[in-house]
A and B are shown apart, each in its own frame.
Chain A
Amino acid sequence: MTLAALADHASLLLLGAGLLFWFWGTWPLLESRSYLSKLHALSVADTLGSALMLLGLLLRIPGQWPLLVLALLALILWNTIFGYVLANCSLASRREPEP
């Protein structure tokens, strides 16, 4: 098997795994679970799934690596910190109803 074919298969695998993470993490949003457990699942989908997809794309279009690496960094940083912001907002709303 040539290297190009190997990269092609690996990228398909990564893209598929990313898609799996996405669906697994997004599905709980529709269920009636606690807000924070939804956030835990969403971090799997958003951050880790998207990162896998970008790695797959990196193997598929290596010529565009600067932009893809930038997207990868930005996605991981923003998603993680946005998850923290959402969790922090839940803390504020949780404290209000208490006497």
Chain B
Amino acid sequence: MRRLLPLLLTTGFRLAVWCLLTADLSRLNLLIGLVVALLLPRAHSRPLPLRALLRALGRSLLAVPQAYLEALRLIVGREPVEGEFSEATTDGTIPLLVFLDVFRITLTPFTIVLGLEDGGRRYRIHALTPHRAPAVGPLAGGPTP
């Protein structure tokens, strides 16, 4: 199952895009879409842990409402403080999980992934933190690793 999952995922994703693009669910069109999805070249894939993938997908979806909340805070709030911190990757060896992590972090307006560091084990993240009490250190924005 873990070995078959990448193939199923890419084919399913391509078929879904094909269906949206053509807006036609007739049997012939589905067959053409399936053939196209299978014929397009695929990247080398590693076995995917289903549980980690589902968790990453769920977190990415949750990031969308959070992004809107942060956008409102950014628009309404005062000038935020810039800072940088780093966060551990979920699993740096699986490209799809890294992609979902980068997507989740960069989607929210307060944080942007700058890149991977420490041999792909941590993300370097640039963050805005909303201005709080002035007593806090001026440039100590963002939680430290």
Residues of B within 8 A of A44 (CB): 71, 74-75, 109
The answer on a CB contact under 8 Å between B21 and A70 is yes
- A48, B102: Cα distance in complex, Å: 17
With both beta carbons as reference points, the residue of chain B lying nearest to A34 in the complex is identified as B82
Is A57 part of the binding interface, using a Cβ–Cβ cutoff of 8 Å?
Answer: no
- A88, B117: Cα distance in complex, Å: 12
Query: How close is B83's CB to chain A, nearest CB, in angstroms?
Result: 11
Task: Give a binary string over B85-128; 1 marks a CB under 8 Å from any A CB, 0 the rest.
Answer: 00000000000000100110011011011110000000010101
* B21, B75, B126, B128 pick with most chain A CB within 10 angstroms: B126
Count of B interface residues, CB-CB < 8 Å: 26
With both beta carbons as reference points, the residue of chain A lying nearest to B74 in the complex is identified as A44
**B10-27 with Cβ < 8 A to chain A:** 17, 19-21, 23
Residues of B within 8 A of A70 (CB): 17, 20-21
Query: Would you call the interface of chain B mostly helix, strand, loop, or mixed?
Result: helix
Query: Would you call the interface of chain A mostly helix, strand, loop, or mixed?
Result: helix
Q: Do A47 and B67 form a contact, CB below 8 Å, given A77-B103, A83-B106, A84-B112?
A: yes
The answer on a CB contact under 8 Å between B75 and A87 is no
Residues of B within 8 A of A50 (CB): none
Task: Give a binary string over A42-76; 1 marks a CB under 8 Å from any B CB, 0 the rest.
Answer: 01100110000000000000000011011000001
The answer on a CB contact under 8 Å between A66 and B20 is yes
Query: How close is B122's CB to chain A, nearest CB, in angstroms?
Result: 14
- A76, B103: Cα distance in complex, Å: 9
The answer on a CB contact under 8 Å between A90 and B114 is yes
The answer on a CB contact under 8 Å between B107 and A47 is yes
Residues of B within 8 A of A39 (CB): 112
A interface list, Cβ under 8 A from B: 21, 24, 34, 36-37, 39-41, 43-44, 47-48, 66-67, 69-70, 76-77, 80-81, 83-84, 87-88, 90-91
Q: Could you list 8 further interchain pairs (A-B, Cβ under 8 angstroms) beyond the known A41-B74, A81-B102?
A: A40-B112, A40-B128, A41-B109, A69-B20, A76-B64, A81-B106, A84-B113, A88-B115
A-B interface, 5 closest residue pairs, ranked by CB to CB distance from nearest: A66-B23, A70-B20, A66-B20, A44-B71, A87-B112
